[in-house]
Amino acid sequence: SKQVRPFITFVLGGPGSGKGTQCAKIAETFGFAHLSAGELLRKEISSGCENGEMILDIIKEGNIVPSEITINLIRREIELSENRKILVDGFPRTNENRIAFESIIGVEPDLVIFFDCPEEEMVKRLLSRNQGRIDDNIETIKKRLEVFDKLNLPVINYYSSKGKLQKIKAVGTMEEIFEKVYPVFTSLRF
């Protein structure tokens, strides 16, 4: 029920590291709700809402959307969902995102997963995705990788220092990677 505090897992990793793919498997296997911050932002763009154009301009450049916007979208989804086991895919991107989430939502994640994938593998996957994403071109991919190194790695290091990080080497097939994800969730007690 809604009175129960949600169990929140942040799923992090560079662009194309397989966050979305593995989150779908986790959601299906372990009954989590899958909230992708990037998907929520892309829905805002296609809904033609007042922030849509600004969000589009930011995503096209591989930059980070203001915390307040992303957090409000995530909050709405958490409130709408009956599910108290939540995967937040691709957020927080910056320490500023992280601190804003902690203060607005008032909770810290119970678990943080980091899909660690070599850059050349991520680039290869993104360039062959072919789903018409506005940011899947080599110029924007380079920018996304830079922003990941500069702003997201510090978040990952923070959770590592807090003992919350599960780092998973994200090479091999999707199934091979999920074999490493699986025990992380079977060992949880809700």
Q: Which positions touch ligand UP5 (CB under 6 A)?
A: 13, 15-21, 37-38, 41, 58-59, 62-65, 70, 90-91, 93, 125-126, 129, 135, 144, 173-174, 177
Nearer to Mg ion, 20 or 52 (CB): 20
Nearer to Mg ion, 19 or 85 (CB): 19
CB of 59 to ligand UP5, least distance (A): 4
Q: What is the C-alpha to C-alpha distance for residues 13 and 50, in angstroms, rounded to an integer?
A: 29
Query: CB–CB of 90/38 below 8 Å?
Result: yes
Binding partner selected for residue 109 from Mg ion, ligand UP5, none, CB under the kind-specific 5 to 8 Å limit = none
User: Where does this chain bind Mg ion (CB under 5 A)?
Assistant: 19-20
Binding partner selected for residue 88 from ligand UP5, Mg ion, none, CB under the kind-specific 5 to 8 Å limit = none
Binding partner selected for residue 12 from ligand UP5, Mg ion, none, CB under the kind-specific 5 to 8 Å limit = none
Nearer to Mg ion, 2 or 149 (CB): 149
Nearer to ligand UP5, 16 or 109 (CB): 16
Q: What is the C-alpha to C-alpha distance for residues 84 and 31, in angstroms, rounded to an integer?
A: 10
Q: Which residue is nearest to Mg ion (CB)?
A: 20
Nearer to ligand UP5, 6 or 90 (CB): 90
Binding partner selected for residue 123 from Mg ion, ligand UP5, none, CB under the kind-specific 5 to 8 Å limit = none
CB of 33 to ligand UP5, least distance (A): 16
Cα-Cα-Cα-Cα dihedral sign, residues 177, 116, 55, 142: negative
